Amino acid sequence: MKRTFVGAALAAILIAAPMTGGQDGPGPSAQAQGGALKLSLSDAVRRALEANLDLAIEVLNPEMDEASAAAAREAFLPTFGLSSNYVDQEIPNSWGLEGPTVKTRRDYYQFGVSQRTPLGTEIDLALSTQTTDTSRAFTTVNPAFDSIFQLSLRQPLLQGFGSKVNRYESIKAGRRLDMSEASLKATLLQTIYGVEQAYWNLTYARESLRVLEMSLAQSREMFRRNQEAARVGTKTGVDVLSSEAEVANYEDGILAARRQVERAENALRTLLGFPVAGAAAAGGAGAAAPEPAAEALIAADEPRAERRTIAFEEALATAFAERPELARVDAALADAATDVGYFKNQLLPRLDLNLQMWYPGQSGVRYVFQDDNPLSGIVIGKIAGSRADSFKDVWKMTYGSVSFNVSLTLPLSNVISRAELARARLAQEQARLRLEKERRAIEAEVVDAVRDLEASARRIDTSARYRELMEKRVAAETQRYDLGLVGSEWLFTYQRSLAQAKADEIRAVIDYRIALAALDKAMGTTLRTKGLKFKGYEF
């Protein structure tokens, strides 16, 4: 019964003000009018992109994953180290030639650089120097300056070898970033579709309410005329009672329509980031004060059927190329393949090539003993040297040493346990099945979207034809009513049917606009067709 009230209201609007062509492209800017905010559809969408809470939450995921990816890439940056050490020790001595104690002072400095490469190579370079001053007997250089340059290289040949293995964390972080960006695009598509749907539903609800009020005024006028006619005897009490009942029905319908407007408006408010109507009153005395908002939201664009045809095969091919859900599952499948490759490598024996090269240098105060015999204890001269002199031997590579070895390690877990590899393969198969499931779901969604669009287009034509026929029928019944051949209740029935026919015609146009939005969402092309950008992302 409520549907007839909506129909009557829309009928009055169609009679009083013929529908003009609206557009959902760049429309008039949002305007505040008497406490109400008038929004075009493009304004509403832009507001949602700026203030929708779901988007505000979702957009943080790519930003966090980008930070994680950057951190993973930093694993191949060099590491610099600097260390210093000072020792001053005195220890008891049991060799009488050196006295009861031996005193030693030592300072040590080292600067090092470590680098890890994507092939798994670990390179360490270190340059160190130390000074030793001791009371130990028969020392030929004291104080002594010892410097050394060291190169250490470790290269895995089996386990841990290769770019994909060593960039594992970086690749995983990149996949997570791809998936979070795909999720963001999916949220964008859903949000924009939700805004369009809520916008047109609010249009329908508000127009219904406005014309219901006009229809109520008309029914009250007819009730008044029937009362006058009954007093002069040209109408019966049944006619008066019928028109009075019609007034009561419209009053009841207006209450329901107002609530429907409130629901539709709150749905749009939520998507646009506005506080819902009545939130402050419902929150109680302890509730935080909400953001000030317009008393009402008014849709500035009027629904207009801009016919669009697309073949199912074309729509499906576009959806397979554009839908973010497929991109997200593709990234998950590639991520699982990365896991399989990594854990296969981890089952290999550890075969490492180790290479070390070092070049020492020494200087200091060198004692010259008689007959070149330190045991004589007779010093006949000194040759002074400095720390810089010790570095000269290092730079000239006067004293060179090389160490080369190969080590093989075979953990028992590599032979017995393959749990991680098995889990990775199961995850890969699961991702493959999810991809197939997603493709089928998208295919079904595109089928429904194309068929809904075609059906809505046909409904526009059939509803217009039915409305024309009902207008002729009401005109005929009105003549019969004026001649007294039928009662007012009979006329009211046909008037409500005509109103419902006109309501269905408007509903068909609105459903067509919603079906267009649903098709764009199903194909994943909403952002491109509307020319929208979101925070620099390229979707």
Nearest Cα neighbor of 38 from 202, 267, 209, 213 is 202
Q: What is the mean pLDDT of residues 191-218?
A: 86
Helices (H) and strands (E) in the chain, counts: 15, 10
pLDDT of residue 151: 96
The pair of three-digit structure tokens given for residue 492, joined into one six-digit string: 């009211």
359-368, 404-413, 474-483: segment of lowest average pLDDT: 474-483
pLDDT tens digits for range 107-159: 999 999 999 999 999 999 999 999 998 877 777 788 899 999 999 999 999 99
Mean predicted confidence (pLDDT) in 472-477: 87
Q: Of the ranges 145-154, 245-254, 453-462, 510-519, which one carries the lowest mean pLDDT score? A: 245-254
Give, in degrees to the nearest 5, the angle at Cα 289 between 287 and 295. 120
**Average pLDDT rounded to a whole number, residues 202-207:** 86
**Quick one: how far is CA 508 from the chain centroid?**
34
Task: From residue 444, give the alpha-carbon distance in Å to each of 182, 451, 529.
Answer: 20, 11, 22
What confidence tier does 485 reach under pLDDT thresholds 50, 70, 90? confident
Find out whether 153 and 121 touch, Cβ atoms under 8 Å.
yes
Span 188-204, mean pLDDT? 94
Give residue for tokens 């554009």.
322
Question: What are the tens digits of pLDDT across the range 335-346?
Answer: 999 999 999 998
Lowest mean pLDDT among 23-37, 76-90, 507-521: 23-37
Give the residue-averaged pLDDT of 435-444.
Answer: 96
DSSP H stretches of helix in 379-487: 387-396, 412-416, 419-482
**pLDDT of 12:** 40
DSSP, collapsed to helix, strand or coil, labels residue 306 as coil
Per-residue pLDDT at 169: 93
Alpha carbon 472 to its chain centroid, in Å, reads 55
Are 222 and 244 in contact by the 8 Å Cβ rule? The answer is: no
Tell me the longest C-alpha to C-alpha distance in the chain.
156
* Most confident by average pLDDT, 34-48, 126-140, 207-221, 395-409: 395-409
The percentage of the chain sitting over the pLDDT mark of 90, rounded to a whole number, equals: 47
Confidence label for 239 from pLDDT (cuts 50, 70 and 90): confident
Give the contacts of 393 (CB within 8 A, at least 6 positions apart). Answer: 147, 359, 360, 361, 362, 363, 399
The whole-number average pLDDT for the span 273-279 is 73
DSSP class of 302: P
What is the pLDDT at residue 183? 94
Q: Name the token pair of 57.
A: 């939450």
- pLDDT band with cut points at 50, 70 and 90 for residue 289: very low
Give the phi and the psi of residue 258 in degrees, each rounded to 5.
-65, -40
Greater confidence (335 vs 381) lies with 335
Cα 73 to its chain centre, rounded Å, is 21
> What is the mean pLDDT of the segment spanning 173-195?
94
pLDDT score recorded for residue 44: 92
Residue 355 has pLDDT above 60, yes or no: yes
Dig out the tokens for 152 from the structure. 């250490």
Q: So what's the pLDDT on residue 33?
A: 56
Any idea what DSSP says for residue 371?
G
**pLDDT for position 288:** 44
H or E element, residue 37: strand 36-39
What is the distance between the alpha carbons of residues 267 and 299, in angstroms, rounded to a whole number? 13
User: Would you give the DSSP letter of residue 265?
Assistant: H
278-283: average pLDDT: 49
CB neighbour list of residue 177: distance below 8 Å, 6 or more residues apart = 62, 65, 66, 68, 69
Give the lowest-confidence range in 192-206, 245-259, 295-309.
Answer: 295-309
β-pairing verdict for 79-92 and 101-116 = antiparallel
Q: Which two tokens stand for residue 379?
A: 């010093």
Task: Tell me which of 124 and 214 has the higher pLDDT.
Answer: 124
Name the residue with higher pLDDT: 494 or 513: 513
Q: How far is CA 320 from the centre of its chain?
A: 20
**Comparing 50-59, 132-141, 461-470, which segment has the lowest mean pLDDT?**
132-141
Predicted local confidence at residue 377, as pLDDT? 67
pLDDT, tens only, 179-189? 999 999 999 99
Which pLDDT band, with edges at 50, 70 and 90, does 98 fall under? low
- What is the reported pLDDT for 124? 96
Check residues 275 and 149 and name the one with the higher pLDDT: 149
Task: Please give the pLDDT value at position 65.
Answer: 92
**What is the bridge-based pairing of β-strands 141-156 and 350-369?**
antiparallel
* pLDDT level of residue 279 (50, 70, 90 thresholds): low
